[in-house]
Structure 1
Amino acid sequence: MTTTRVPQGERSRVMRQRLLEATVECLVEHGWSGTSTTLVSQRAGVSRGAQLHHFPTKSDLVLAAVAHLSEVRGEELRVAAASLPSGARRTRAVLEMFAEHFTSPVFAAALELWVAARTDAELRAAVGPLEQRVGREAHRIALDALGADESHPGVRELVQATLDLVRGLGLANTISDDAARRRRILDRWARTLDAALDPDAAPEAP
């Protein structure tokens, strides 16, 4: 029986990916203060020595996880946007897509990094630009999904207000299950958006 040898570069890539995914999982489950390089290596099933080879310090590991997390968040939104329905209920579906994103485990992990970055200059320097990139991508996805034309006055601000609203609802959900209130707010906001983006369109059914 012939055994296929996996190239060293591929093994290294897979191990690095496991460490980054384990870091995100630890941030979700244990928070920033409870996440350590030892815990991450155990979660990833990687030896301490191998983890130190890829990421010698917690700072190295977390900064790499920040970049990884931004990619995951962007990809999740792109995939979700590709499967949105068409028709009269599309606006509400767009809002639900973002609501699911802002209540997802990857958003919880990002939130842990935001809070930690407030008092950690090195982390803030890494988180800031990547969050701006994620924000721009989310704004572009929202524009496309809503069929909004931001060359019209006020449309850009309306779409950004939508993202800020749904993100805020996601933050509220970190304390307690806020699904019922969130659903009512998004039902109303969908009708508001339709009226504002296309005054001649028939409103969505309540």
Structure 2
Amino acid sequence: MACLAEYGWAGSTVAVVAERAGVSRGAAQHHFPTREDLFTAAVEYVAEERSSALRALVPAGPAHRRAAVEGIVALYTGPLFRAALHLWVAASDEDQLRPRVTELEARVGRESHRIAVELLGADESVPGVRETVQGLLDMARGLGLATLLTDDARRRERVVAEWARILDGVLG
């Protein structure tokens, strides 16, 4: 994941990853025959680990909405998102990779939404709540994109505070 985040898709060959991991290229290819296998497995594993960590670190419920928003935004502004973005860009040009990344991102997206609902204490049977939670995830993704170019931590803090306020109003 670090190679993908640092070097992008083009610079992250199996040989580069194997060297960084301290294993032979043959050993890496034994477990992951293609670069596509390696990186889709890595993104999936790290996404699951980060989701578990988020659930463990952020208490669920209305009293902790600001912390939930901060945690969700942190998922999209860190190295995992940067690595995933490189994978998305590669998938947009590589027919062999596209269906794997599309399926993976659909699963990760559903899980992210489910975790957000849980952490926010949201009741999706209320009209507009599902869309508001999805809006939070879309906003967090946008902040992650902005972070790729500049350090916008000060602006991000204000946006997170405002989203927490909006969620309190919408979710009650």
Settle same-fold status: TM greater than 0.5.
Answer: yes
Q: Does 1:189 align with 2:146?
A: no
SS in 1 for 2:77: coil
Unaligned runs of 5+ in 1: 1-23, 199-206
- 2:114 maps to 140
- 2:140 maps to 166
- 1:157 maps to 131
Equivalent AA in structure 1 for residue 3 of structure 2: C
Q: Does 1:35 align with 2:16?
A: no
Specify which of 11, 15, 25 is matched with residue 2 of structure 2: 25
How many residue pairs end up in the alignment? 172
1:63, 1:126 within 8 Å by CA — same for their partners in 2? no
Unaligned runs of 5+ in 2: none
Q: Does 1:44 align with 2:21?
A: yes
Separation in structure 2 between the aligned mates of residue 164 and residue 87 of structure 1, nearest angstrom: 21
Q: Does 1:126 align with 2:100?
A: yes
SS in 2 for 1:149: coil
Classify 1:39/1:153 alpha carbon distance in 2 versus 1 (closer, same or farther; 3 Å). same
Separation in structure 2 between the aligned mates of residue 135 and residue 88 of structure 1, nearest angstrom: 22
SS in 2 for 1:122: coil
Specify which of 180, 186, 191 is matched with residue 154 of structure 2: 180
TM-score, reference length from structure 2: 0.92
Separation in structure 1 between the aligned mates of residue 45 and residue 8 of structure 2, nearest angstrom: 20
Equivalent AA in structure 1 for residue 19 of structure 2: Q
Report the Cα offset of residue 53 of structure 1. 3.2
Q: Which has the higher contact order (CA 8 A, sep 6+)?
A: 2
- 1:116 maps to 90
Greater fraction of residues in helix = 2
TM-score, reference length from structure 1: 0.78
Query: What is the identity percentage for the equivalent residue pairs of Structure 1 and Structure 2?
Result: 50
1:63, 1:123 within 8 Å by CA — same for their partners in 2? no
Separation in structure 1 between the aligned mates of residue 114 and residue 4 of structure 2, nearest angstrom: 28
Classify 1:108/1:157 alpha carbon distance in 2 versus 1 (closer, same or farther; 3 Å). same
- 1:201 maps to none
Residue by residue, what CA displacement relative to the aligned partner does 1:153-184 show, whole Å, maximum 9, x if unpaired? Answer: 11111100110011110110011101111111
